[in-house]
Amino acid sequence: MKLRSSLFAFLLLSVLSHAQYRFSGYVDKSKWHENVYLSIINDYRQLSGVYEEQILDKVEADSTGYFEFTGSMLEDDYRIYKIHTDNCEDALQELAHFS
């Protein structure tokens, strides 16, 4: 009975944790702004550029440059995702300026 309960709990946790992600890293804030973006690349030919409709999430790096993306909104299929920053002033956010 105890084994059955443990197995059920394991399977339940496996299903609930499906498709969760956590990406983290550091940005050199002396060279880059603190905004960090997570984007989906729908077409490999668009890998070098970033389009606003590709951005899934945006976080702000802390004072040490640390950033973290967490969640469960990524698709189950194999996809290309990109983590990137920008180096433009906040006033220019409307223009295509990502790198």
Q: Mind listing the pLDDT tens digit for each residue in 55-82?
A: 999 999 999 999 999 888 787 788 888 9
The answer to whether the beta carbons of residues 50 and 57 sit under 8 Å apart is: no
Instruction: Say how far apart CA 99 and CA 93 lie, in whole Å.
Output: 13
Q: Which of 12-21, 30-39, 67-76, 84-93 has the lowest mean pLDDT?
A: 12-21
Distance between start and end Cα atoms, the chain: 56
- The reply to whether 13 falls in a domain is no
Q: Which domain holds residue 76?
A: 20-92
Domain count, the chain: 1
For residue 66, give every residue at least 6 positions away whose Cβ sits within 8 Å of its Cβ, in sequence order, or none: 24, 25, 26
- The reply to whether 69 falls in a domain is yes
pTM for the predicted model, two decimal places: 0.68
- The reply to whether 7 falls in a domain is no
Sign of CA dihedral 83, 67, 37, 33: negative
- The reply to whether 79 falls in a domain is yes
Sorting pLDDT into bands at 50, 70 and 90, what band is 99? very low
